[in-house]
Chain A
Amino acid sequence: MPTPALLLSIAVLLPLVSFIVLVFLGKKMGNPLAGYVGTLFIAGSLACSAAATFTWLSPGGMHDGKPWGFGKGPIELPMKWIPVGAGLSQTHQGFLDVGIYVDSLTVVMFFMITGIATLVHIFSIGYMSEDKRFPRFFTYLGLFCFSMLGLVIGGTTLHLFIFWELVGLCSYLLIGFWYEKKSASNAAIKAFVTNRVGDFGFLIGFGILFYHLGNVSLPDMWRLLSSAGAGHDIVLAGGGTFTAGLLTIMGIGLFFGAMGKSAQFPLHVWLPDAMEGPTPVSALIHAATMVAAGVYLCGRIFPILTPDAKLFIAIIGCTTLTMAALIAMAQTDIKKVLAYSTLSQLGYMILAMGVGSWVGGLFHLITHAFFKALLFLGSGSVIHAAHHEQELPQYGGLLKKIPVTGITFLIAVFAIAGFGIAGWGFSGFYSKDLILQHAAAFGFLSDHGAEGGHTNYLWLLFWCPAIIAYVTPFYMMRCWTLTFWGKPRNQHLHDHAHELPILYIPLLVLAIASVIGGKYIGVKEMIESAQTEMNAIVGKDVFTAAWPNIKEEAGHAAEGEPAAADHPAVAEPATAAKTAEAGEAKKLLEEGHEQMEHALAGGWAWLIAMGLGFLVYMNGYVISDRVMKIPPVRWINTWLKNRMYFDELYKFVFVGTVMFLAYVSSAFDRLVVDGIVNSAASLCRQLSAVIGLNDKYVVDGAVNGAGAVAQSIGRAVRTPQTGRVRMYVTVLMCVIAISIAGAIVVVLSR
């Protein structure tokens, strides 16, 4: 096993060991010790990930000055697991495979997950110190880290699916950690059920894939279905056709799983409720890692998505990001604000996947993980300081009391707002710009595709995120100002606020990561090299193929090129076409960048929106209360505050449908069935009156006669009925013995 794969496997297994140790010994270890043990294991995991990153980037692993695999590129290690019938696997005939696939993306994800998990562990030692189930919390965290890391390292579809479900289970356990609270256990169930809805789609997609290809490893999947991006039917090597429609359904089905995990519209309802879990859990699961699993999955299935599936993904992402950002503006619970901002940012990532910005989506995933973990842990620190008060109207003026938290929180707000001056900024700046740039390029592309007209509804996929790029800084600044600025609105709470070093040390580390995460630590370069590695596996550029129109426009030079694309083995697009494509893409991206600059007011959008947010909420609710007096604003605010009534809508549609059906069937029962039964009953009564006469004279006579006979027989037979079982057996045996002996004597004597 190559060194990075070995190190990463150890990094996967260490949290599992921690889980097992804590399951059996956690209670005995007690309050601080169990936390230290859990933290130690996950820190070991972080060390392994760091070592793996260094070996990955060691001089042997550079390619054109960029990080590139371990010497020869990504590591594929499918392993035999369960022996089953033939034809279910590409690599090992007759076996279901699990296995490892490591590329630059895996390495980056590992570093991010273990890093944030370690910080969350440290934070939890302080935050959960008064909880009576302290050891169990770390047990669950260990299991969660194991499942998440197992998901990221997974090399076959089956492997992915197993860990995918494990992650879902852990989120259920952790959201419902305070299960005494009815709301918490309800939220856990809601999260689980909503995820099941998504996973149902995932299973359908997985089933379609499995039917055609068996349990493929990821690279095999890309190789075999690499021409999916063109939107044509694919002829499989073993005969059989994978039709384009089925490919689209498969892509959308798999994306449904991602929708559940990444809480995309319309399956987003669980994430805000999931804030019932302990705050470190929110930071770990619902900001940085688990919800990222959906985006990660999108990244892994990206090469096999058809254009239609991608469009669907983009629309879902766009809807989510718009809706969530609007709702976030009106929330009063600090964690709910963060939850909706998470939804919104996840919408950005999903949109990025849909418009073909693979790098942008995953880059934003990493940077978002840093600053969102910071925001959540910061809110945890605030909540801890405020004795578990989460409502913004109760805060105010906390900056002096908890300065470190306040400043790190502000840094995170800058990062999520996309703070950047003259091409330099915090981490969110780079990733969000990349996504917007691609979205604009996608808009231009759709213009080319549209017939004659110059504008197209697909431009919404650019304008929505661009407008939301103004909304995001506004509501984040609102949240910060209401918490840390102005006069204290609850004097008692303000007087008792304090912060602990064990709580703010992780915040400082994350603040540094949020500042430099975009540019200096090579995240983007790693993800770009992951893209190159995936292209190398497939043997062609699947990422520009995300834009089929480019292919069509630029590919006129190479006649019969689509036919060649159907056979990946022989697909070697003409070099001229390739260059033309690249040039076209570059031009589009430049146009897109320009468009984005215009839309974001030359890069000052963050300043305008943040300034507005600060000014409006500088004195608490004074100004906003006045604005709320205007009826339409108030109506919109109520609408947003109640989360656009999605829960009520779902209740109406799903619960209402069931109730309606129940009502209909009950009515049917009462009118039709009861009617039949009742008329049958009256008919019976009439008949029975007639029969009764017969009964009285004929039957009774017969019965009484029979009874008399039976009685006399019974009297005769009752004497040998002693009730003693053994006597019965003895008599039985005697009879059998005598008859067998007699029969044998008769037979033999003949």
Chain B
Amino acid sequence: MSKELEKAGLPVALVSAMFPVAMQMRANRIVKGVSIPHPCGDPSLPKELDARLRREIVRTALKALESEVKGPTVFSAGIP
């Protein structure tokens, strides 16, 4: 799916916990998600930290959209 969006000229930041699979599928801008059932955040963290982590993941995704890449590239959110 994300490849079809890219084909249409839309840069895609793919947030996925299965980033090795995303690499294998040749997605280009990959953002490390936390885990499969909760890519954007971590329910084991206190609520506020969880929200901050999510914000950093989304911020990283926005940064990925601004980044020139040549092929599959993994971006990781800085841990808050």
Are A and B associated in one complex? no
